[in-house]
Amino acid sequence: MEVKVEKFDYEGRGLTHVDKEVFFLPRALPGERVEISVLKSKRNFKVGKVLKILDKSDARVLSFCPYANSCGGCTFDIVSYENSLKFKKEILKDLFLKNKILLPSFSIEPSRPVLEYRNKVSLHVCDGKFGYYEEKSHSFVPILKCALLSQFISRLLDDFSLFFFSNGSLIIRVNDKGECILGIDTKDEVKIHKTLLEKHLIKGIFLNGKLVYGNSYFIENRNNIFYKVPFDAFFQVNPYISQKILMDVKSFFQKEDTVFDLYCGVGFFSIPLALSVKSVIGIELNQKAVLGAIENARLNNLSNVSFHVGKVEEVLKKIPLSSKKVLVDPPRSGLHQSVVSFFLEHSIEQIVYISCNPITLVRDLKLLLSNYCITFFKVYDMFSFTKHVECVCVLNRC
């Protein structure tokens, strides 16, 4: 079957219509005429596979990754970086327009560097090889190198044979100094070769959830602000972009403000905000992250920041509301509906919403825009060449 690709869908797939049926075409670009086969038929759509490109887009380039067609992690590796930003912006505009949400003019902050930026990776290990699962499947894709990973992680993976286990999973986290913490899950007997410890700055090793070597955390230095980061706590994977977001977020708060930082994690925003506002109150479900946040306040000699453990929607009901300004950085699932209701009922004046999932951001905005107006919107390319972005949306009471 021959079709012409009309545009991208939100997933970064080519989209077209054939006899009023919607077709999603991974790795096809708008304007291209392609020959396809049907891989999956659903009630409302079909997913196709591109067999041959008949008319190629001028935007198409050769991928930098030898695993691109099997891994599926990098949606926009087949265009230049500049075009990837352009396409991401168009996809977001289309998403918000479709949901009748008017955005102010916005820019997209490029990553620097565009490759080798990730400070964390989760890998599967099968028959002595490491790799990823193909997107939306359990089909194992062995790799030798991933172009998105920090050089510190890549160097460690060059010595993967020194791990001595054949099946399971491996998580690697690194900090700005190249210090690593490893998480290994396997049924195999694991014997870490001493050469691995001598060649790399390994601070800690977890085996099947138990700390078996070193420390359970490392210290991250971001512009002379120090963070104690537990191995299983959330921390932004792109240091450059996370600092850009932080600088923008700080500009929305003044010296006299008390700020509620909801879903605060280890205090990535709470700690630097506390240096420039009256006080910060953080709420986070992960108890280890909160213990890390408390330690981070101590590391940075701060006494005007406090933290509470629990679900945001429950803690908000228990503590006095001493602020009319909130910062929210929820997981991909977005805000709990009762949190949205709390904002609306308590006349919160300003919401600075950091989102890693525009779909749930749109869902939440549909409710919040009954009482709020968008005064700032910006996109950040936290995950270069993938379909993902980070957004900052500032809402002020209308």
Owning domain of residue 278: 237-397
Name the pLDDT band for 358 (thresholds 50, 70, 90).
very high
Domain termination site, one of 60, 85, 109 = 60
Q: Would you put residue 75 in left (φ > 0), alpha (ψ -120 to 50) or beta?
A: alpha
In a domain, 75, yes or no: no
> Per this entry, what is the length of the chain?
398
State the pLDDT at residue 82: 98
Name the pLDDT band for 172 (thresholds 50, 70, 90).
very high
| Helix 358-368, helix 81-98: angle, nearest 10 | 30
* 242 and 205 housed in the same domain: no
CATH number at residue 310: 3.40.50.150
Catalytic residue chosen out of the listed positions 71, 356, 391, 393: 356
* 198 and 326 housed in the same domain: no
* 166 and 127 housed in the same domain: yes
* 184 and 297 housed in the same domain: no
> Six-digit token pair at 397?
């009471």
Mean pLDDT of the chain: 95
In a domain, 66, yes or no: no
CATH number at residue 171: 2.40.50.1070
In a domain, 104, yes or no: no
* 24 and 138 housed in the same domain: no
In a domain, 229, yes or no: no
CATH number at residue 24: 2.40.50.140
In a domain, 95, yes or no: no
Domain termination site, one of 21, 36, 60 = 60
In a domain, 77, yes or no: no
* 207 and 248 housed in the same domain: no
* 144 and 273 housed in the same domain: no
DSSP character for 285? S
C-alpha distances (whole Å) from 302 to each of 54, 150, 271, 285, 375 are 62, 31, 8, 22, 31
* Residue 390 is among the residues annotated as catalytic for this protein: yes
In a domain, 158, yes or no: yes
Q: How far apart are CA 223 and CA 276, in angstroms?
A: 15
Is the pLDDT assigned to residue 320 strictly greater than 90? no
- Interval 317-326 mean pLDDT: 88
* Residue 11 is among the residues annotated as catalytic for this protein: no
Q: Which of 44-48, 276-280, 321-325, 377-381 has the lowest mean pLDDT?
A: 321-325
State the pLDDT at residue 385: 98
* 260 and 314 housed in the same domain: yes
DSSP character for 84? H
**Is 397 exposed, middle or buried, given 0-12, 13-18 or 19+ CB atoms closer than 10 A?**
middle
Name the pLDDT band for 69 (thresholds 50, 70, 90).
confident
Name the pLDDT band for 301 (thresholds 50, 70, 90).
very high
Closest CA to 270 of 290, 288, 256, 286: 290
* 391 and 242 housed in the same domain: yes
- Interval 20-34 mean pLDDT: 96
Domain termination site, one of 218, 249, 284 = 218
Burial 51-74 (b: 16+ CB within 10 A, else e): eebeeebebbeebebebbebbbbb
Tell me the per-residue pLDDT of 186-227, one tens digit each, with 9 for 90 and over: 999 998 899 999 999 999 999 999 999 999 999 999 989 999
Tell me the per-residue pLDDT of 230-282, one tens digit each, with 9 for 90 and over: 999 999 999 999 999 999 999 999 999 999 999 999 999 999 999 999 999 99
Catalytic residue chosen out of the listed positions 65, 74, 390, 393: 390
> Six-digit token pair at 38?
């049907």
Name the pLDDT band for 49 (thresholds 50, 70, 90).
very high
In a domain, 105, yes or no: no
* 213 and 252 housed in the same domain: no
Closest CA to 218 of 164, 263, 152: 152
Q: Which of 33-37, 41-45, 262-266, 352-356 has the lowest mean pLDDT?
A: 41-45
State the pLDDT at residue 347: 83
* 181 and 267 housed in the same domain: no
Number of domains into which the chain is organized? 3
* 11 and 137 housed in the same domain: no
